[in-house]
Each structure stands twice: as C-alpha cells, then as structure tokens.
Amino acid sequence: MKIVQITAGAGGRLCGSCLHDNTLVRALRQRGRDAILLPAYVPTTTDEENVAEPTVVMGGINVFLQQSLPLFRHTPRWLDRLFDQPALLRWLSSRTGDTRPADLGPLTVSSLRGEQGHQRKEVERLARWLAREVRPDVVHLSNALLLGLARRIRETTGAAIVANLSGEDLFIDQLPEPDRTAVFELLVERAADVDRFVALNTAYAERMAGMLACERDRIVVIPHGIDPSGFPAEPPNLADRRAARGDRYVLGFLARACREKGLDQAILAVAQLVEQGHDVELLAAGATVPAEAAYLAGCLALAAERGIAERVRWLGQIDRAGKLQLFDAIDVFLMPTPVPEAKGIPVIEALAAGVPVVASAAGAFPELLGSGSGQPAGLTHRPGDPADLARTVAALLSDPAGAQSLATAGHGRARERHRAEQMAAAHEQLYERVRVEAVSQP
C-alpha cells in the first residue's frame, strides 16, 4: 500500500501540523510502510528528522501569482518550475510572515474550489503527477483547507482520500465576509470528496462534524503520538529539581506567540501569583512571525507594566534539544488557550516529560488530561480567566505531593496513549479500511 501525506508547510515556523504529519510518516516507515510526505505551498519545518520529499507541490509562489494575475494561469511548466524551487520558496516564505488570515479570503475560496478555481493548473498537475509517478492507494491531506485537491486526485489516481481536522475553524473565523461564508459552504460541499476525516480528540471531531455537516462516524479520532526519544523513562522528582535551583518555581509555556495560545493569560497569572507572595517565574518559547510580533511585544510590555519583566523569559522558537531542556527546567506547564484547542501537542509533550499541566477547560485538554475519569493527568481552569489560572496553579504550588502525583499520572498516560507507534498503527487500520471501500465502489 502506497501512502502519500500532503502537508501544508509553514515557511520556517514550527507548527502542529508539520510536527504531527512528520512524526506519523516517520513512524509508518519504521513499521515498514511505503509512505511519503509531500510539502504543499512551502517546505515543512519540524524539530525532528525531517522526512519530507524535496519536491514542493502547489508551490506557494505559483499559487499566489495564479490568484493575483490571470496571465500566470496559462504559463508553461518550464516557467512555473522556476518558482517552485524549495530554496526560493523557503527564502520567500521567511519574508512574508506579516500575512494575516484576513488577507487570504479570496485565495482560500479559490483553493477550495480546486479544479474550478484559479489554481486549477496546479491541481491538475499534482493529480496527474501522482497518477503517473507515485500511484498512491491513499492520499492523506493535512487539513480541511486542502479539500479542493481531493476530487481531482481521487478521479485521476483512484486513491482513497483521508483528511485531518486541525484547527481550521480558528483561521476561518478571521476571514472577512463574504469569503467566510463561501469557505464554510465549500467545506460542506468538498467534504463529500473525502472517505474519512481524522481528528486528534473527540471534542474537535464533534465540533467539526457540525461545521462540515457530515456524519460523526466519518470522523475517526486518533490521538497524536510522539517520538519518546529524549523524554525521561521515569517521571522526574520535582522536589529535587526545584531544590537544585533554590526553591523558586518555574512555570513553562510552549506555543506560537499569538492570542489564540494565551501567552498574555500566562503573564497575567504569574503577576497575580507574585502579588500573592509566590516566588515564580515564566519560561516561555515558541514561533513568531511579523504578523504576530505586535502581540508578543504587547505581552512583554504587559509583564513590565505588572512589575514582573525580570520574571518572564521569552526564548523564541527552539529546536528539539531546547524543548527538552525547557521541560527539564520547569515545575508546571501552562497551556491557557482562551479558545478551544484542536491538537494540544505541547501538552502531550509536557506529560511525557513528567511535568504537571494546567490547561484551559476547552477543546482537546479535558480529554488529554483525563478530566472526570479517575486519576487526572493535569488540572484545568476556566478559559480566558487568568485569575482562575493563577488559583489553579497556586493550588499545585501549595501541594507538592499532589503535583508529583499529577506528574506521575501524566507521564504514564503519555506512554500508554500517545506513542508514535500507536498513532501509526491506528492510521494503518484506517488506511486499509478506506482502501478496501474505495476498491469496492463502482
């Protein structure tokens, strides 16, 4: 069985989809499966071994030119190929980070129209190349905004189509009208071209079933799995760790520097904890782009206004070694997203590192932390409420034994439910099922 994963790259910025899809394809290969990862628009970025192919499909420069200038909808392949060089795409994408979702409405609508949109030339080229050179049995799209590719790929290759659901709703909500409504309508229409959708948790599966107007049983929940290398085989002793640094508590944050991830919420909570007499600081890291630089600057200014500038350290984007070092340096991991989270990969990594987690009680986190089901692996707080976040963290700081218990439970939960091998095995079963269904269809 030939499996092709098509993943929208993020132009040098670490993103959850790139991390998830790269880990999945690596694990599938380790299990002996014939799987490849094709970057779309721009090259993918990951903090592990990058297994993506050097070829970038649906090259971002050509996609943009075909949207903006009708001439480029008819140019020959030799000219388009000049704009599809990975090095050029990587260089350009690193300099276009000031693009906002609100600027991408017409392009998103056209892309979802697929063979009927302005990028029809790119869609046809990709479908024919897959049929001629790759001959896949299953094509897996990294998010629902790539559904415009599904129909022609299915028609041309006969492959079954699988698509991830990974936070599209937050992007779509930022689009202006009438593009926002058009995107929703196209998603419902194009969902019919997909055999199964994959969500990383039940909450998001149910949310997207309504948005796509599709049957819930067409959405399969497969939790994200991580590569365990580098993470501790046993949960660390948090008391010994804290004593080694003089008993100051270090809170951790790892996510993109944007409002949806809640760095400002973490800073406000730290300020309240300090006002209450707790000796704490915040160690934070994540990707940022020019469009989000003002938000990050505002967060750092907020820390200064609240008198805790020296207690907030922003590390920027870090590699895998830096990520593991961050988890080794903290006592509690914070993920205070004010909006429902679709993936929650940093929380899974914090659990695997044996660090107690406090996350918002929305989206993926209640399920990831086992809220309401026996021994929890972490605590939740009211979304968008930094006072409740501070209260929840303070409860952990005053109960070292309870914090250690959460860390131990979380570590066990990650090793039991969130290994890359498990994720790959579940996908194999899904691929086999949809392939059989595709072959049996008239």
Domains and CATH numbers, the chain: 2-225+420-440 (3.40.50.2000), 238-417 (3.40.50.2000)
CA angle at residue 336 from 169 to 212, to 5 degrees? 15
Question: 356 exposed, middle or buried (CB, 10 Å; 0-12, 13-18, 19+)?
Answer: buried
The closest alpha carbon to 24, from 368, 410, 430, belongs to 430
Stretch 213-228: mean pLDDT, rounded?
96
Torsions phi, psi for 164 (to 5 deg): -80, 155
- Of the chain, the percentage scoring pLDDT greater than 70 comes to 97
Stretch 204-209: mean pLDDT, rounded?
95
Give the position of tokens 């997203």. 337
Report the predicted TM-score, pTM, of the whole model to 2 decimal places. Answer: 0.94
Stretch 17-40: mean pLDDT, rounded?
97
pLDDT digits (tens, 9 = 90+) for 116-161: 999 999 999 999 999 999 999 999 999 999 999 999 999 999 999 9
> Who has greater pLDDT, 287 or 393?
393
Per-residue pLDDT, 245: 81
Per-residue pLDDT, 9: 85
CA angle at residue 222 from 220 to 225, to 5 degrees? 165
Across the chain, mean pLDDT equals 93
Per-residue pLDDT, 103: 79
